[in-house]
């Protein structure tokens, strides 16, 4: 399959040092074209298939590929994890790669405009090596039931590339539903690790009377912080470790706790150093991952500035991520950590998702289900938080806005629009 795609891409004039943009949903076509582009020596730009035509057009004008691979026909429903795709291969008036990066990705945009992030082959290989040295990762002959998109770093490296390297079977479920995920785990007798984001934990935790699945070895989640309530609901129902990972598109996996023994703290991945400076977590990174961006507040002197608040225990080296650096605000001269407020809300019964921002006043956006109601949430928060920490505005939404990777959107404009 890869050889077939390689010939097709070469026929369009794509050569070593060229630029290829992939805009395909999760599919064998996506995997084959990705590996074919790399086999040709091209720089591969990954665009999420869920982007709108307007967003795709803006990205192509910004990144200027020479060839674009896009879906021509797609067979499969909206909840399918992997679909059948017949793709089109179209020349685009771009130019050859100007940097040595093997892959170009866009940041998730959960807090604002996307950044262009480049990673070299050496960098990707180094991340795969970090995975091989982390205790608790899937081993040869085991399975990775992948729910995270392979367009983004967790699914791309943590499932696809690591799985190919380690000899683990990479298995998407038929559909992204709780029942279908459990069916995928039960489909083979070999041990299975489910790899996803907190949204997927919620799917499994809310599954009514799930069958026994002895093949389930653990679930590992990346992305945003998992609320204590969600973690407790999952482990109580399935009795397997709920592992946690902290990473960024810029560097991949940074720290892990795959056995759930240090929650919410994590241990830095082998080969990486994490320090705390002025309340911000910094990660060792020999060169800037940003393409066309020279900003010392994001990378300088061998350190990636994560913009995440956190601490590093001087005795154990364990890292605790406290949330975004801009989550700490002053209310009447008193410091309030919005991450604490958000975690308190997220732990309440019936609260499915919560985002807390400072928008003139502390403002909460919630998605709830019975037994929760606006009244019960208000009463519970009054019991649990001091008055100066409580949200002054609470908006209950039918569904919380999320990025294409499943992260909760924290952009004020998007949340305001969702309310209106």
Parallel, antiparallel or unpaired: strands 67-75 and 116-119: unpaired
Which pLDDT score is estimated for 114? 66
The answer to whether residue 13 is domain-embedded is yes
Query: What confidence score (pLDDT) does residue 383 get?
Result: 87
Query: For the chain, what is the mean pLDDT?
Result: 91
Residue 113 lies in a domain: no
107: in domain: no
Q: 31, 65, 98 — which closes off a domain? A: 98
Residue at 308 is within a domain: yes
Q: Are residues 296 and 196 in the same domain?
A: yes
Task: Tell me: do 315 and 360 sit in the same domain.
Answer: no
Q: Are 343 and 314 part of one and the same domain?
A: no
In this prediction, residues 355-370 reach a mean pLDDT of: 91
In a domain, 378, yes or no: yes
Task: Indicate if 92 and 171 belong to the same structural domain.
Answer: no
Confidence of residue 281 (pLDDT cuts 50, 70, 90): very high
Assigned domain for 109 exists: no
Between CA 248 and CA 232 the distance in angstroms is: 25
The CA distance from 339 to 410, in Å, is 12
Residue 332: band (very low, low, confident or very high) from pLDDT cuts 50, 70, 90: low
259 with 346, same domain: the answer is no
Query: Quick check: is 105 in a domain?
Result: no
Q: Which of 238, 243, 180 has the alpha carbon at shortest distance from 209?
A: 238
Q: How confident is the model at residue 80 (pLDDT cuts 50, 70, 90)?
A: confident
Q: Do residues 94 and 232 both lie within one domain?
A: no
Q: Minimal CA–CA distance to 236: which of 190, 192, 198, 204?
A: 204
H/E segment holding residue 84:
strand 84-91
Query: In the prediction, which pLDDT does 405 show?
Result: 66
pLDDT at residue 134 is higher than 80: yes
Distances (CA, A) of 108 to 225, 250, 350, 366, 411: 15, 11, 27, 21, 12
Q: What is the CATH number of the domain that holds 401?
A: 3.30.300.30
Same-domain status, 273 and 361: no
Q: For 28-69, what is each residue's pLDDT tens digit?
A: 999 999 999 999 999 999 998 878 788 889 889 999 999 999
CATH of the domain at 289: 3.40.50.12780
Residue 404 covered by a domain: yes
Residue 298 pLDDT > 70: yes
Same domain, 346 and 269: no
Are residue 85 and residue 139 in the same domain, yes or no?
no
Task: Give the structural domain span for 380.
Answer: 332-419
CA distance 69 to 290: 24
If one counts the domains in the chain, the total is 3
Domain boundary (98, 130, 149) is at 98
pLDDT band at 190 (very low <50, low <70, confident <90, very high): very high
Question: 248-259, pLDDT tens digit by residue?
Answer: 999 999 999 999
Q: What is the pTM of this model?
A: 0.81
- Clarify whether residues 357 and 316 are in a common domain: no
Of 28-42, 87-101, 377-391, least confident by mean pLDDT is 377-391
Residues 304 and 355 in one domain: no
CATH of residue 31's domain is 3.40.50.980
Residue 226 has pLDDT above 80, yes or no: no
Same domain, 156 and 282: yes
- Which of 98, 113, 129 terminates a domain? The answer is 98
C-alpha dihedral sign at 412, 413, 414, 418? positive
């Amino acid at each position: 399959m890869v050889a077939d795609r390689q010939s097709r891409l070469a026929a369009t004039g794509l050569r070593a040092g060229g630029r290829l943009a992939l805009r395909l949903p999760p599919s064998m076509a996506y995997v084959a074209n990705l590996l074919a582009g790399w086999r040709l020596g091209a720089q591969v730009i990954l665009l999420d298939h869920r982007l709108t035509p307007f967003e795709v057009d803006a990205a192509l004008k910004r990144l200027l590929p020479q060839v674009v691979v896009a879906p021509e026909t797609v067979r499969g429903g909206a909840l399918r994890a992997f679909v059948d795709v017949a793709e089109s291969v179209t020349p685009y008036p771009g130019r050859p790669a100007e940097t040595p990066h093997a892959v170009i990705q866009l940041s998730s945009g959960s807090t604002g405009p996307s950044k262009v992030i480049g990673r070299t082959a050496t960098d990707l290989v180094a991340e795969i090596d970090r995975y091989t040295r982390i205790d608790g990762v899937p081993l040869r002959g085991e399975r990775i039931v992948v729910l995270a998109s392979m367009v983004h770093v967790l699914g791309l490296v943590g499932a696809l590339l690591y799985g190919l390297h380690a000899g683990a079977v990479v298995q998407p479920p038929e559909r992204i539903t709780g029942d279908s995920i459990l069916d995928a785990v039960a489909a083979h007798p070999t041990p299975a690790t489910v790899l996803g984001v907190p949204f997927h934990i919620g799917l499994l935790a809310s599954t009514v009377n799930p069958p026994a699945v002895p093949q389930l070895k653990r679930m590992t989640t990346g992305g945003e912080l998992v609320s204590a309530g969600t973690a407790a609901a999952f482990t109580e129902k399935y009795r397997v470790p709920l592992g946690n990972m902290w990473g960024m598109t810029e560097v991949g996996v940074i720290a892990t706790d795959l056995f759930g023994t240090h929650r919410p703290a994590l241990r830095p991945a082998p080969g990486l150093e994490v320090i705390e400076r002025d309340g911000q977590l910094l990660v060792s990174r020999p060169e800037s991952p940003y393409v066309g961006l020279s900003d010392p507040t994001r990378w300088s002197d061998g350190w990636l500035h994560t913009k995440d608040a956190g601490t590093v225990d001087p005795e154990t080296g364990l890292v605790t991520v406290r949330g975004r650096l801009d989550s700490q605000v002053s209310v009447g001269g008193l410091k309030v950590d919005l991450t604490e407020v958000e975690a308190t809300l997220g732990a309440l019964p019936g609260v499915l998702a919560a985002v807390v921002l400072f928008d003139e006043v502390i403002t909460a956006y919630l998605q709830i289900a019975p037994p929760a109601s606006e009244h019960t949430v208000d009463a519970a928060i009054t019991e649990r938080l001091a008055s100066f920490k409580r949200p002054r505005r609470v908006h209950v939404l039918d569904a919380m806005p999320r990025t294409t990777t499943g992260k909760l959107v924290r952009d004020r404009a998007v949340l305001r629009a969702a309310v209106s």
